[in-house]
Amino acid sequence: MKTPDTSCPIARTARIIGDEWVLLVLRELFREPQRFDDLQKRTGAATNILASRLKRLVEAGLVEKEPYQARPLRYAYQLTRRGLALFPALLELMRFGMEWLPVDTPPPFRLVHADCGKMTLPGQVCTACGRPVKLGNVRMLPAEPAADTCAAHAVAAEPAATPERSGAA
């Protein structure tokens, strides 16, 4: 099997994040730091798959783990500054999925642009006000009941309110 060209930045990035489970883990970590059990429940990944994907993300410097319990040793995971830099790419993957791979069910979350307070579709600019959408000015919220006509058209990622995250965008 031929090894992908390491001079290509897309190939190098795909080796790390080019996996469905990795993208689902990133989606959840953009919302907030997570414990292993919570990530497993929210992504649906088997324990061995989730463990290997988290190991890959930690080794790549996209995620860091902090112990929250000594016995047995358990960790919480959060994005590093390098991991947070993937936010625009994740927004574009959300936009692509909504535009080119539509489904009849609404997504499990929605984006709210903090600058204008309105829901927005994923992308680099707010569909309500036209200003840039960045990690520090968008929140990922759970989808509202079907009565909300916009819920079927919005996806999201709420970063935790930490100084590192607001300064990373």
Domain ranges of the chain: 9-83, 86-168
Tell me what pLDDT residue 2 has. Answer: 63
| Beta strand extents in the chain (DSSP E only) | 34-35, 63-69, 74-79, 109-113, 118-120, 138-142
Residue-by-residue pLDDT tens, the chain, 169 positions: 566 578 999 999 999 999 999 999 999 999 888 999 999 999 999 999 999 999 999 999 999 999 999 999 999 999 999 999 999 999 999 999 999 999 999 888 899 999 999 999 999 999 999 999 998 999 988 887 543 333 333 333 334 334 344 444 3
Tell me what pLDDT residue 108 has. Answer: 82
Task: Please name the fold of domain 9-83.
Answer: Arc Repressor Mutant, subunit A (1.10.10)
Cβ distance 16 to 6 under 8 Å? no
Tell me what pLDDT residue 4 has. Answer: 59
Tell me what pLDDT residue 89 has. Answer: 94
Tell me what pLDDT residue 86 has. Answer: 96
Tell me what pLDDT residue 167 has. Answer: 43
Tell me what pLDDT residue 143 has. Answer: 81
Cβ distance 163 to 132 under 8 Å? no
Cβ distance 141 to 156 under 8 Å? yes
